[in-house]
Every structure is written in structure tokens, then in C-alpha cells.
């Protein structure tokens, strides 16, 4: 009895506040288009039964998504931005993680704390900090003009470049931490063994260090890519009107156009896109857990 | 009566009138398709120090966990003082357990660890204090009462675990590899301490161990287990001297096994043909063995005498040459190869200095033993 | 490996400069006299003074703190229960669905979580306000709590619980007297994580809040959309300061405890 209650409370909570809302999104995405005016048709009617209810659902909102090229362009651009920024984060993050793992033992805890600290700091504030740096009169342009490298201010804010900078900056800890923990576990004598067997430094890095840190690299890449696809704050603060990302489109569809059925359809398609990386990520984590046993 | 009791050896298992404290009645325990305990019946008596001995996976831990209440028998019943304890949850049983990992609560002091069980019984505060102090004295931990488990050594932790499980004065104390985490020297000291405490408190102890020396030292009776069954349950001396099977003979101590065919000669004596062209060996057995039946003769190495000349009056004597010598300090074990390739071990005490040792590698020697030295085991 | 190679030294320096310079600039310019944030016009704390008198920000901060306290506490209770069920619950009907529902919110885009909860609240006619934000935040942060707590529970020595049962505890007592005190550090860090997630959240709160309840991130977001302002710089500096003090204190406390435990263990080992 006690066990039943223990299971039931969190179970019912998640059913009511995670699964049911999701079912509602699914249902509304299949309903007739109507602007910000519930109830949406068809409504479920016990007398008519489930069959009648299902037969009235249709895919018109999804068909609408394919007709307006705004949507598929936004999906495509989200995926593109996610892939490029993940690669950039890896390029920036790997040397930092590597440097941390090679740092003297007594520094490591402090370096670790320095990586985690931004993670606890407000996401919004960290994105906001770049607005002052990247704007036309911003600190970066001031600095570059002072050094004489440029004479005219560069336009960075409200371009995709700013979005990439923002993503790399905010998601960097997610990339560093798993790579660091993989590198930290790496036995230093393996590299010495490789060098002993005739590898150069660079070969040893390429043939030993990189393959052994691969689980960390994969985990870090997914941890960056999955949330970036649905990102809203960064494109809306740094990307301007020129940056098309699906999270922003969904937000505008909902709050500006107030077209809830289409917003729901956008959400469902976004989830379908995310399923692939999520499943791959899950597999990677599982494999790693099995390897550790 | 008291004097009489004192003069009698403690052996309730030989007394048909004695009432057992624990009875396993045809107990079987299965985990899915795996049978951990196979139709097992055994009686354990009050004040006994009962050892369950066997390799890992033999079912000894499962037996203990069933006594503690963490597992329930699939079939059969377990009785404690005549009462079926299957439906009683672990927290309601008058049985306490000392865990292999000690399972000391890391957030509580030594004192609070020992008082933990007493507090659950809603005992008056004064009584708890008295009882905890008594336990601290018994285990010589008075100085460490306010320390946390990580602030004391491994041996002290072991004693805290013992004090905690004894504090509630259980009818039965279960000890799961209680000395397994200690190093060898400390383990030997602790074995005697454990026996001492068992005697002082009069509690029935059931100990699980895979260390045969430990079981032989501490226990009043040892049960040798394999594949969920008890192969033999008897006093350490009888387990060693009269094993009932090759498995037990081989598991406890070192043994030479010679395979052969028996011929009864009357009066429990047998002659055994063991190799072509060799004189048959002489042995005795209380169990009847038919003519021509395959059998094993088990002889402990220390019962084999090694000499340069053939002893005149030996019942059994075979010739061979020294194949290997293991020098153990107090003892030496000679591995002697017989003409048919069999290796027989003979052990001698090193009462003389090594420079005066009489045998060396490849020396021809004679091995001899009496007719009653070995145990004849029928297949 | 006692000294860093120049390559590692350079990559660490550049990396941490990249991580920290934006925040340092933000902090410096929060003390700027000028309204124009990009031009330094002398030291001043006037923006902090204005912040204290800005009713709208103070109200929003108060709403945010209340939401964070309620939701993180509720999430910690529910998340710990969920972790216990996942690690110790054995098999039960719908276990796969349950663990799926624990892990899914971790990878679910915030816009979708927000949208779906909003549609639920409208569907059942619940007025949006502090209560609905608390419900929303509890739901996603309980999943984070349960991940943190279950990773601790997996390494928990079960014989400690068995020892408690053996010594006369009921299962509930064993949890309260033995399991909970030992996993407390994980439960506390779960609470802190939930608290921070709730404080930071913009997207889900935007969907689930009503006109009666505006949280600080919502307020900051709408102010920031219009551009950089010294007041927001001052507010950000305060928030960064709180987090920094918190994280440094926490890491010092845990480090000191670990060092002490190690010393005591070594002393105990030497004593024998």
C-alpha cells in the first residue's frame, strides 16, 4: 500500500502535467484552424464515441506548414545553426577541457568551479552581456577601432554571427564538462606507452587521446545540439529579424499571430526532428554506462 | 547437575531430547531459474557457534538472508524456537545480523550506531545508556564512543558492527563474513575475541565464511555447503578426520586422494587395488563397501611418513622419488612421485635446522601410513 | 605533468577569458555614471539606487523568489520520490513510461513544454498566475532533481537499509533515519539546481504566467529587447554576485569536508 502511494504520486503528477498537456498539443495540432478562440473543433463527445472524434481530425495544419516556406526554412536553418554551432563549441571547448585535464592536480578543482560558475548564472544575463559587446557602438567595435584594425564599425549584433557567438558562449560548459571527465579518467601512461612505441606527440594525441575521449565528445555534442535546435532566447536577443529559428517562430506564432493550432503543429514537427538526436544520445549514454560496468 | 553439565561436552546435536533453536524444514529457494537452496533441512541448537562454509555461490549467504528475513523460502519452512518465522518481517524478528560491509551508519557516532536498535524498541533512556556502555565495554570501544565510523580503524569498525548487532540481545546473531575485511594477523586475534564474546553472552551465532581455517577455529559445528545443499554438518574435528565425501575432504585442508577398487577383508578392513603391479593398500571403513566397488582413499599429508628405508612394520608403504619440496618454515611438504605418476604429499615438522634436512630433489624415498590413517570413501 | 605546456596555458587563458570577460565588462559598466552604457563617464552607484526604488523590478523579484522556493521544494520532494521509485521500486506497471516521463522533459525544448502546459491550463480553466508557474516549474525541475538523487541512490550501499530493518526499523523509519540523512547532500544539490532553474527560466514562465504575475526574467527580457540599460547591468551584477558567493561557499565547504574526512580516515588507519 505504502509502495503504491510512493509510486502513484510522482507518476500521476507527470501524467497530469507532462503527458496530458502533450496529448492536448497533439490534439489541437490536428484540429481545425481558428485564431486564439478555444474550443477547437472537433471536441470530444462521449456520445459520438472515439471513432467519430478521430475521423474529424485532420492534417490541415501540417499541410499548411508545408505550403508556407517560412516553416521549413526555419526548421532547416535551426538544424544548420545547431550543427555549425555544435562544431564551433567543440573546437573551442576541447582545448579548454584538454588544458584542464593536463593542469596540475591542485588547480583542477578551481578550474572546474570556474567552468561550472557560469552554468549557475542566469542564462538570460549571459546572453544579454553580449548585446553590449557586439552592438555597433559596442565594446568590441570600440576596441577594434581603437587598435586601428577597422575604421568603420562592424555590424555583428542582429546577425547569425552574433547567434553563433551567443550559443558557443552559453553552451560551452556543457561541452567542456563531459570531455573533461573523459580526459581526466584517461591513464597518462597510455600516452607514454604510445610514445614509447614510436608515436610522435601529435600521433599519440590523434591515435590515443582522441579515440578515448570520444564518449565525452559525443555526449558534449548532443548536450549542445539538442537544446540549440529549440533555442529561443539567443536568436531573439542576438539574431535580429534576419535569423530564422524554429523556437522563435513557434513563440511568434503563439504570442503574435495567436494561431494555436499551427503553433501546436510546429511543436509536434520540432519534436519529430529532435527524436533522432535524442535516441542517438540515449544510445551513446547507455553504451558508456555498460562499458563502465 | 551443574557439575555434570560442565563435565559433559557441549553437543546438543547428539542428544535426541534437545530442542533445536532453528529448524530448516525442506527449504528450497529459487531466484528465477536458479536454485540457491535445494531442499535443505538442518537443526541448529541454542548456544551453538554454527559455521556455514562453502565457495561463493553455494547458497550460504542466501541461508543467512532467509534467517534475517530479507529473503523468503520458495518452499519449506524455517522455525525459530518452534515458531514459523516466514511471515515475520526482518524488523520484527529477534534475529540480528552483522553485515559483511559492517553497514555502519556513516552519519551517526559509534555510540548512536550501537543505540540505534535499542531506540527502535522504545527502551527507557537510562536503560539504553546502560546497555550501550555495556556493549562498549564488551568490545573495548569505550574511548571511541563519540567518533564517527570513518574516524576509526577497520578492526574497530568490525567491533562496532558486532556491538550494534549484539545490543538488542538477539536470540540469534548472524555474521556474514565478519572478518573478511581484516588483514590476516588481525583476523586471527579477532577470531578468539569472537569466541570469547559468544561464550560470555551465550548467544547463538551463525557465521558465514569461505575461509575454512576460520570456520574450524571458531565453530562448534561446521556445515560444508555446495550447490545449495549441506554436504556434511559436524564438529570441526570430525569434518577433518572423517569427511563423508571427496568434496568435503578436498575442501577442508590438504588431502591426497588415491582412487582404487576395494576388496572387503572382514572387520571393517579392506584392501584396495590402486595400480597395476603395486601391493594393495590397507584401509578401514565403517561404511560397507562391496567387492570391486570403485572407491577413494583420502589421506592427510601429515599422516604420511617419509623415510629413506622401507619401514618394517607399516601397513602401507610405497616407493617414489621426491618431485618437489615446499618449505613453509615450521613445516615442509614433500611432493613424491610414485612409479605410476601419482603425486602424494607428505608433510613433516621441521624440528631440525634446514641444513640437516634429510631429503633432496630426485631422492628415492618410502612413504608409509597406518591402516587407520586414511578415510575410505565409496563413490 | 607538473607544468603546463605553453599550448595548454594559452588555451586555458583564452578559454577562461572568453567565459569571464563579458561578465566582467557587464559588472564594470554597472558602475558607470552615464546613461549611455558603452561610454565610460566615471564611477557611480546610482543605478543600484534606482534599482532599489523600481517597484516593478522589486515586485517581479519577489514573485520569482516565491515561485522558486515553492517549486524547488515541491520538485525536491517529488523528484526524490521518483528517484526512489526508479532505483528501488522494482517492477511495476508502466515503469518504462514512468522513466520516459522523467527523462523526456530534460531534452524537451522549453517552448514546447511551455506551450503544452499553457494549453492544459486553458483547457481546464485554471487562471494563470503564480500557482500555474509553480506547477510548471515543479514539473520540469523534479526531473532534474530525480536524475541527481537517483545517481546518488544507485551507489548507495543497500546493506545500510537492511541493517536498519534488521535493527527494528519499519521501511519508512529506515528511509527517514538512514537513507535520507546519507543522501541529503544529493537532495540539497537537487534543490539548489531546481531553485536556480526556476530563477532563470524565461520561456516556460512566459507561457504559464498571467498578467497578475510577472517574474524577473520576463521583466528583464522585455527591458532588454529595447537595448542595453545600466539598470539591467546593475541587476545582473547583483545576481552574478549572489551566484558567485553561493557557488564558492558551497565548493569551499564541500572541499573542506572532503579534506577533513580524508585526514581523519588516514589518522584512524595509522592508529591501528
Task: Give Cα separations from A290 to A283, A286, C65, C88 (angstroms).
Answer: 11, 6, 41, 20
Centre a 10 Å sphere on the Cβ of residue B43 and count the other Cβ atoms it contains.
18
Within a 13 Å sphere around the CA of B113, how many CA atoms are in the beta-carbon half? 32
What is the domain range of residue B283?
254-378
Give the Cα separation of B373 and B379 in Å (integer).
19
Is A249 an interface residue toward C (CB < 8 Å)? no
For residue A50, tell me if it sits in a domain: no
**Cell 586414511 belongs to residue:** B374
| The predicted structure's pLDDT at residue A47 | 59
> Hey, of C166, C174, C188, which one would you mutate to test binding to chain B, going by the most B CBs within 10 A of its CB?
C166
Of A210-219, C39-48, C132-141, C216-225, where does the model show the most confidence?
C132-141
Centre a 10 Å sphere on the Cβ of residue B157 and count the other Cβ atoms it contains.
22
Chains that touch A (3 or more CB pairs under 8 A): C
Give the Cα separation of C64 and C54 in Å (integer).
16
Chains that touch C (3 or more CB pairs under 8 A): A, B
Residues A11 and A120 in one domain: no
Residues B46 and B77 in one domain: yes
Strand partners, B299: B256
From chain A, pick out residues whose CB is under 8 angstroms from the CB of C29.
132
Residues A122 and A266 in one domain: yes
Indicate if the pLDDT at residue C77 is higher than 90.
yes
CB A247 within 8 A of CB A235: yes
From first to last of the 379 residues of chain B, give the pLDDT tens digit: 333 444 457 888 888 888 899 999 999 999 988 999 999 999 999 999 999 999 988 999 999 999 999 999 999 999 999 999 999 999 999 999 999 999 999 999 999 999 999 999 888 999 999 999 999 999 999 999 999 999 999 889 999 999 999 999 998 999 999 988 788 888 888 898 899 989 988 899 999 998 888 999 999 999 999 999 999 999 999 999 999 999 999 988 889 999 888 888 877 888 888 888 788 888 888 778 888 888 899 999 999 999 888 888 888 989 999 999 888 888 889 999 988 888 999 998 887 765 556 788 888 999 999 988 888 888 6
Indicate if the pLDDT at residue C2 is higher than 50.
no
Residues A1 and A75 in one domain: no
The DSSP H or E segment spanning C136 is helix C130-154
Higher pLDDT, C75 or B355: C75
Give the Cα separation of A3 and A289 in Å (integer).
28
Give the Cα separation of A236 and A245 in Å (integer).
9
| The predicted structure's pLDDT at residue A41 | 56
Q: Is the dihedral of CA A252, C55, C48, C70 positive or negative?
A: negative
For residue A250, tell me if it sits in a domain: yes
Question: ∠B144-B148-B154 over CA atoms, to 5°?
Answer: 75
Residues B149 and B263 in one domain: no
Per-residue confidence band for A85, with pLDDT thresholds at 50, 70 and 90: very high
Residues B188 and B318 in one domain: no
Residues B211 and B284 in one domain: no
Residues A207 and A269 in one domain: yes
Listed residues B198, B213, B246: the one ending a domain: B246
Of A84-98, A128-142, B170-184, B239-253, where does the model show the most confidence?
A84-98
Per-residue confidence band for A48, with pLDDT thresholds at 50, 70 and 90: low
For residue B286, tell me if it sits in a domain: yes
| DSSP codes joined into one string, chain A | -HHHHHHHHHHHHHIIIIIHHHHHHHHHHTS---SS-SSPSSPP-TTTHHHHHHHH---HHHHHHHHSHHHHHHHHHHHHHHHHHHHHHHHHHHHHHHHHHHS-HHHHHHHHHHHHHHHHS-HHHHHHHHHHHHSTTSHHHHHHHHHTS-SS----TTSHHHHHHHHHHHHHHHHHHHHHHHHHHS-HHHHHHHHHTT--HHHHIIIIIHHHTHHHHHHHHHHHHHHHHT--HHIIIIITTT---HHHHHHHHHHTS--HHHHHHHHHHHHHHHHHHHHHHHHHHHHHHHHH-
Cell of A139: 565594446
CB A265 within 8 A of CB A95: no
C-beta pairs of B62-66 under 8 Å, 24+ apart in sequence: B62/B29, B62/B36, B62/B37, B62/B228, B63/B24, B63/B37, B63/B208, B63/B225, B64/B97, B64/B174, B64/B176, B64/B206, B64/B208, B66/B27, B66/B29, B66/B37
What DSSP character marks residue B107? Answer: T
**Cell 587521446 belongs to residue:** A209
Centre a 10 Å sphere on the Cβ of residue C241 and count the other Cβ atoms it contains.
11
What CA dihedral angle connects A223, A229, A232 and A233, to 10 degrees? 40
For residue B7, tell me if it sits in a domain: no
| The predicted structure's pLDDT at residue C194 | 96
From chain C, pick out residues whose CB is under 8 angstroms from the CB of B96.
166-167
What CA dihedral angle connects C107, C110, C111 and C116, to 10 degrees? 80
Report how many domains make up chain A. 2
Within a 13 Å sphere around the CA of B17, how many CA atoms are in the beta-carbon half? 0
Is C182 an interface residue toward B (CB < 8 Å)? yes
For residue B1, tell me if it sits in a domain: no
CB C53 within 8 A of CB C116: no
Residues B65 and B121 in one domain: yes
For residue B3, tell me if it sits in a domain: no
From the centroid of its chain, how far is CA A32? 31
Cell of B287: 561404511
Is A41 an interface residue toward C (CB < 8 Å)? no
Give the Cα separation of A263 and A246 in Å (integer).
10
CB contact under 8 A, C157 and B153: no
Residues A2 and A115 in one domain: no
CB C95 within 8 A of CB C89: yes
CB contact under 8 A, C244 and A92: no
| The predicted structure's pLDDT at residue B85 | 93
Q: Tell me whether residue B278 is exposed, middle or buried, using C-beta atoms within 10 angstroms of its C-beta: 0 to 12, 13 to 18, 19 or more.
A: middle
| The predicted structure's pLDDT at residue C200 | 92
Give the Cα separation of A99 and C6 in Å (integer).
10
Residues B79 and B208 in one domain: yes
Nearest chain C residue (CA) to B183: C272
Q: How many CB pairs under 8 A join A and C?
A: 226
CB B148 within 8 A of CB B126: no
For residue A113, tell me if it sits in a domain: yes
Nearest chain B residue (CA) to C258: B150
What is the domain range of residue A285?
69-292
CB contact under 8 A, B101 and C159: yes
| The predicted structure's pLDDT at residue A65 | 83
For residue A284, tell me if it sits in a domain: yes
Give the Cα separation of A213 and A232 in Å (integer).
31
CB contact under 8 A, B120 and C268: no
At the top level of CATH, which class does the domain C57-227 belong to? Answer: mainly alpha
Residues A241 and A98 in one domain: yes
Higher pLDDT, C66 or C210: C66
Q: Tell me whether residue C110 is exposed, middle or buried, using C-beta atoms within 10 angstroms of its C-beta: 0 to 12, 13 to 18, 19 or more.
A: buried
- Over its C-alpha atoms, chain C yields an Rg (Å, rounded) of 23
Cell of C114: 511551455
For residue B335, tell me if it sits in a domain: yes
**Cell 523590478 belongs to residue:** C57
Tell me what percent of the residues of chain A surpass a pLDDT of 90: 41
- Domain residue spans in chain C? 57-227
CB C151 within 8 A of CB C80: no
Residues B294 and B145 in one domain: no
Residues B261 and B160 in one domain: no
CATH number at residue A258: 1.10.3720.10
Residues B239 and B262 in one domain: no
Task: Give Cα separations from B260 to B173, B242, B276, B281, B379 (angstroms).
Answer: 45, 19, 10, 9, 11
Cell of C130: 503564480
CATH number at residue B18: 3.40.50.300
For residue B5, tell me if it sits in a domain: no
Closest CA to C191 of C148, C242, C240, C250: C148
Residues B102 and B48 in one domain: yes
Pairing mode, if any, of strands B294-299 and B256-264? antiparallel
Q: How many CB pairs under 8 A join B and C?
A: 80
Report how many domains make up chain B. 2
Give the Cα separation of C48 and C238 in Å (integer).
9
For residue B61, tell me if it sits in a domain: yes
| The predicted structure's pLDDT at residue B72 | 93
CB C218 within 8 A of CB C205: yes
Arithmetic mean of pLDDT, A220-235 = 93
Residues A83 and A193 in one domain: yes
Nearest chain C residue (CA) to B144: C268
Rounded to two decimals, the pTM is: 0.85
Give the Cα separation of B219 and A225 in Å (integer).
64
Indicate if the pLDDT at residue C8 is higher than 70.
yes
Cell of C43: 564611477
Listed residues B192, B213, B246: the one ending a domain: B246
Residues A175 and A252 in one domain: yes
Q: Tell me whether residue A86 is exposed, middle or buried, using C-beta atoms within 10 angstroms of its C-beta: 0 to 12, 13 to 18, 19 or more.
A: buried
Helix (H, G, I), strand (E, B) or coil at B50: strand
Give the Cα separation of A170 and A223 in Å (integer).
12
- Over its C-alpha atoms, chain B yields an Rg (Å, rounded) of 25
Omega of the bond prior to A42 within 30 degrees of 0, cis? Answer: yes
Omega of the bond prior to C232 within 30 degrees of 0, cis? Answer: no
Interface of B with C (CB under 8 A): 68-70, 89-92, 95-97, 99-101, 103, 105-107, 116-117, 120-121, 148, 150-156, 164-165, 168, 186
Within a 13 Å sphere around the CA of B7, how many CA atoms are in the beta-carbon half? 4
Amino acid at each position: 500500500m505504502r509502495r503504491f502511494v510512493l509510486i502513484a504520486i510522482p507518476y500521476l503528477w507527470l501524467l497530469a502535467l507532462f503527458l496530458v498537456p502533450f496529448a492536448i498539443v497533439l490534439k489541437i495540432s490536428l484540429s481545425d484552424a481558428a485564431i486564439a478562440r478555444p474550443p477547437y473543433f472537433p471536441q470530444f463527445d462521449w456520445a459520438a464515441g472515439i471513432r467519430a472524434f478521430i475521423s474529424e481530425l485532420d492534417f490541415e495544419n501540417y499541410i499548411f506548414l508545408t505550403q508556407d516556406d517560412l516553416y521549413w526554412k526555419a526548421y532547416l536553418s535551426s538544424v544548420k545553426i545547431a550543427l555549425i554551432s555544435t562544431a564551433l563549441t567543440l573546437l573551442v571547448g576541447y582545448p579548454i577541457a584538454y588544458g584542464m585535464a593536463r593542469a596540475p592536480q591542485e588547480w583542477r578543482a578551481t578550474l572546474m568551479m570556474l567552468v561550472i560558475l557560469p552554468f549557475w548564472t542566469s542564462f538570460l544575463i549571459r546572453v544579454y552581456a553580449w548585446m553590449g559587446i557586439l552592438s555597433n557602438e559596442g565594446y568590441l567595435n570600440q576596441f577594434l577601432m581603437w587598435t586601428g584594425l577597422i575604421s568603420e564599425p562592424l555590424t555583428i549584433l542582429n546577425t547569425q554571427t552574433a547567434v553563433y557567438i551567443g550559443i558557443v558562449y552559453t553552451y560551452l560548459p556543457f561541452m567542456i564538462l563531459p570531455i573533461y571527465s573523459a580526459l581526466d579518467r584517461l591513464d597518462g601512461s597510455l600516452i607514454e606507452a604510445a610514445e614509447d612505441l614510436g608515436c610522435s606527440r601529435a600521433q599519440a594525441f590523434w591515435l590515443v587521446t582522441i579515440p578515448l575521449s570520444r564518449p565525452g565528445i559525443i555526449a558534449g555534442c548532443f548536450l549542445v545540439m539538442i537544446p540549440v535546435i529549440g533555442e529561443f532566447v539567443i536568436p531573439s536577443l542576438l539574431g535580429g529579424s534576419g535569423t530564422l529559428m524554429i523556437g522563435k517562430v513557434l513563440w511568434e506564432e503563439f504570442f503574435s499571430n495567436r494561431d494555436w493550432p499551427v503553433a501546436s503543429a510546429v511543436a509536434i514537427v520540432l519534436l519529430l526532428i529532435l527524436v533522432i538526436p535524442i535516441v542517438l544520445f540515449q544510445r551513446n549514454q547507455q553504451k558508456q554506462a555498460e562499458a563502465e560496468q | 547437575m551443574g557439575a555434570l553439565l560442565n563435565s559433559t561436552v557441549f553437543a546438543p546435536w547428539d542428544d535426541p531430547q534437545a530442542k533445536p533453536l532453528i529448524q530448516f524444514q525442506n527449504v528450497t529457494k529459487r531466484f528465477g531459474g536458479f536454485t540457491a537452496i535445494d531442499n535443505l533441512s538442518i537443526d541448529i541448537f541454542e548456544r551453538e557457534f554454527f559455521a556455514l562454509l562453502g565457495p561463493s555461490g553455494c547458497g550460504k549467504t542466501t541461508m543467512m538472508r532467509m534467517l534475517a528475513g530479507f529473503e523468503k523460502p520458495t518452499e519449506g519452512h524455517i522455525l525459530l524456537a518452534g515458531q514459523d518465522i516466514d511471515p515475520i518481517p526482518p524488523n520484527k524478528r529477534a534475529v540480528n545480523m552483522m553485515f559483511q560491509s559492517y553497514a555502519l551508519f556513516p552519519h551517526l557516532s559509534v555510540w548512536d550506531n550501537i543505540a540505534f536498535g535499542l531506540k527502535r524498541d522504545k527502551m527507557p533512556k537510562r536503560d539504553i545508556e546502560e546497555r550501550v556502555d555495556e556493549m562498549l565495554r564488551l568490545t573495548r570501544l569505550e574511548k571511541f564512543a563519540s567518533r564517527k565510523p570513518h574516524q576509526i580503524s577497520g578492526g574497530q569498525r568490525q567491533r562496532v558492527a558486532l556491538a550494534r548487532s549484539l545490543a538488542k540481545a538477539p536470540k540469534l546473531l548472524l555474521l556474514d563474513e565478519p572478518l573478511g575485511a581484516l588483514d590476516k594477523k588481525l583476523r586471527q586475534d579477532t577470531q578468539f575475541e569472537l569466541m570469547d564474546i559468544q561464550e560470555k553472552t551465550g548467544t547463538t551465532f551463525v557465521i558465514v565464511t569461505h575461509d575454512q581455517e576460520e570456520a574450524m577455529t571458531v565453530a562448534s559445528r561446521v556445515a560444508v555447503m555446495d550447490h545449495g545443499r549441506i554436504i556434511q554438518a559436524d564438529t570441526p574435528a570430525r569434518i577433518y578426520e572423517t569427511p563423508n565425501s571427496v568434496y568435503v575432504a578436498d575442501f577442508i585442508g590438504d588431502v591426497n586422494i588415491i582412487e582404487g577398487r576395494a576388496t572387503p577383508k572382514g572387520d571393517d578392513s579392506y584392501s584396495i587395488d590402486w595400480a597395476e603391479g603395486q601391493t594393495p593398500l590397507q584401509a578401514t571403513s565403517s561404511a560397507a563397501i562391496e567387492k570391486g566397488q570403485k572407491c577413494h582413499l583420502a589421506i592427510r599429508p601429515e599422516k604420511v611418513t617419509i623415510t629413506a628405508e622401507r619401514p618394517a612394520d607399516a601397513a602401507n608403504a610405497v616407493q617414489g622419488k621426491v618431485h618437489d619440496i615446499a618449505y613453509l618454515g615450521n613445516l615442509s611438504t614433500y611432493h613424491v612421485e610414485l612409479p605410476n605418476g601419482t603425486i602424494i604429499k607428505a608433510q613433516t615438522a621441521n624440528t631440525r635446522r634446514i641444513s640437516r634436512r634429510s631429503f633432496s630433489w630426485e631422492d628415492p624415498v618410502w612413504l608409509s601410513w597406518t591402516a587407520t590413517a586414511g578415510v575410505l570413501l565409496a563413490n | 605533468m607538473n607544468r603546463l605546456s605553453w599550448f595548454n596555458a594559452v588555451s586555458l587563458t583564452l578559454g577562461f577569458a572568453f567565459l569571464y570577460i563579458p561578465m566582467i565588462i557587464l559588472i564594470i559598466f554597472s558602475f558607470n555614471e552615464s546613461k549611455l552604457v558603452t561610454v565610460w563617464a566615471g564611477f557611480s552607484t546610482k543605478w543600484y539606487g534606482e534599482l532599489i526604488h523600481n517597484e516593478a523590478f522589486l515586485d517581479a523579484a519577489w514573485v520569482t523568489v516565491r515561485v522558486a522556493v515553492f517549486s524547488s521544494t515541491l520538485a525536491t520532494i517529488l523528484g526524490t520520490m521518483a528517484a526512489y521509485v526508479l532505483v528501488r521500486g522494482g517492477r511495476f506497471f508502466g515503469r518504462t513510461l514512468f522513466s520516459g516521463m522523467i527523462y523526456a522533459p530534460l531534452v524537451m525544448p522549453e517552448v514546447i513544454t511551455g506551450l503544452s502546459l499553457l494549453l492544459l491550463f486553458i483547457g481546464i480553466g485554471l487562471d494563470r498566475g503564480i500557482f500555474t508557474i509553480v506547477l510548471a516549474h515543479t514539473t520540469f525541475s523534479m526531473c532534474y532533481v530525480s536524475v541527481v538523487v537517483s545517481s546518488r541512490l544507485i551507489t548507495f550501499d543497500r546493506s545500510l537499509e537492511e541493517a536498519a530493518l534488521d535493527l527494528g526499523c519499519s521501511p519508512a523509519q529506515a528511509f527517514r533515519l538512514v537513507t535520507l540523512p546519507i543522501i541529503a547532500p544529493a537532495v540539497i544539490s537537487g534543490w539548489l539546481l531546481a531553485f536556480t532553474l526556476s530563477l532563470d527560466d524565461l520561456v516556460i514562465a512566459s507561457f504559464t504566467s498571467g498578467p497578475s504575475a510577472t517574474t524577473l526574467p520576463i521583466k528583464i527580457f522585455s527591458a532588454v529587447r529595447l537595448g542595453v540599460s545600466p539598470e539591467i547591468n546593475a541587476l545582473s551584477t547583483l545576481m552574478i554576485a549572489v551566484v558567485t558567493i553561493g557557488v564558492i561557499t558551497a565548493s569551499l565547504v564541500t572541499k573542506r569536508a572532503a579534506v577533513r574526512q580524508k585526514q581523519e580516515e588516514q589518522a584512524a588507519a595509522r592508529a591501528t
